[in-house]
Structure 1
């Protein structure tokens, strides 16, 4: 279960928003902590099992993490697990829910398309660090839950701005 979850309504089709959140090399445009992402081991995009390196920074501190895509359900759900070396760190998830007005894909292939004006994008974070490491890191850098709450809010706001721009890039 996620320790942290925030949502935002975006006036864009779920397919368009999914294309943004799953384009991990662009995450540095929106995230206050992720500087950039590079695919590795032959991965070229957000497919299930695709591996990547996350290049992160806060102030002068810089570090990298390893990630793997754990869910890639276009226009609905995108998730990835993060580790630092052999240590599990986090699970990040993006869930898209149609909201009333434009045409959006149905919840399953056997249902008709749903009307929608856009979608609600929910970003969730689950802390997977071992308890001793969590306590040590929180003392050293501050409570990760508080830090990530602010980061998620900034990321969602930036994604909304990009998705709702006249020519999303």
Structure 2
């Protein structure tokens, strides 16, 4: 069965400032604390922090536990408002991941989303379906985003209190 990915978003209110939330999310070295699918992230090619054009290396792990690298590029770095990056993988298309920070009351509404800008190829779906055994990739990504925002809330609210 061929799966389809297009776009999705989840959101959560977090009792922390937009700037603190941005600082946590945009420090990609902290991504393994937040995302259930990321094992490690490091800035590469001279990048030391979030800036448009900065690249980082991410190590992903899903499904049957195998890992693979990808090299995203930051496409939006607007402190306290939005952090976004694009990642392209051979056969796996291009996804843009975005975090928006919207002040609300004494905290922030965080919206995490992805948009597929270049679709996964049939070969990519073969690997996703049969090798990784991910039969509902859109559902997996949605669950991952929900868990990421839950973890972000725990981290940010802990740092906000400190």
Question: Normalising by the residue count of structure 1, what TM-score does the alignment of the two structures yield?
Answer: 0.82
Q: CA RMSD in A?
A: 2.0
Structure 2 match to 1:92: 97
Deviations 1:88-139 (A, max 9, x none): 4311000010102xxxxxxxxxxxxxxxx11100000113333524543443
* Aligned residue in 2 for 1:124: 113
SS in 2 for 1:165: helix
Greater CA radius of gyration, 1 or 2?
1
CA distance in 2, matches of 1:40, 1:51: 6
- The residue aligned with 2:87 is 82
Structure 2: gaps (5+ residues): 1-5
Determine the C-alpha separation between the residues in 1 that align with 2:30 and 2:159.
18
Matched ranges for 1:3-14 at <5 A = 3-14=7-18
> What is the TM-score with the length of structure 2 in the denominator?
0.85
How big is the shift at 1:166?
4.8
Which residue is 1:61 aligned to?
66
Quote how far apart the aligned CAs of 1:145 are. 0.6
Deviation, structure 1 residue 155: 0.5
Contact 2:84-2:99 at 8 Å conserved across structures: yes
Residue in 2 that maps onto 1:151: 144
Q: Which moved more, 1:15-24 or 1:139-148?
A: 139-148
- Please give the alpha-carbon distance, in whole angstroms, between the structure 1 residues aligned to 2:159 and 2:29: 22
Structure that is richer in helix per residue? 2
Contact 1:51 1:66 in 2 (8 A): yes
Length, aligned pairs only: 152
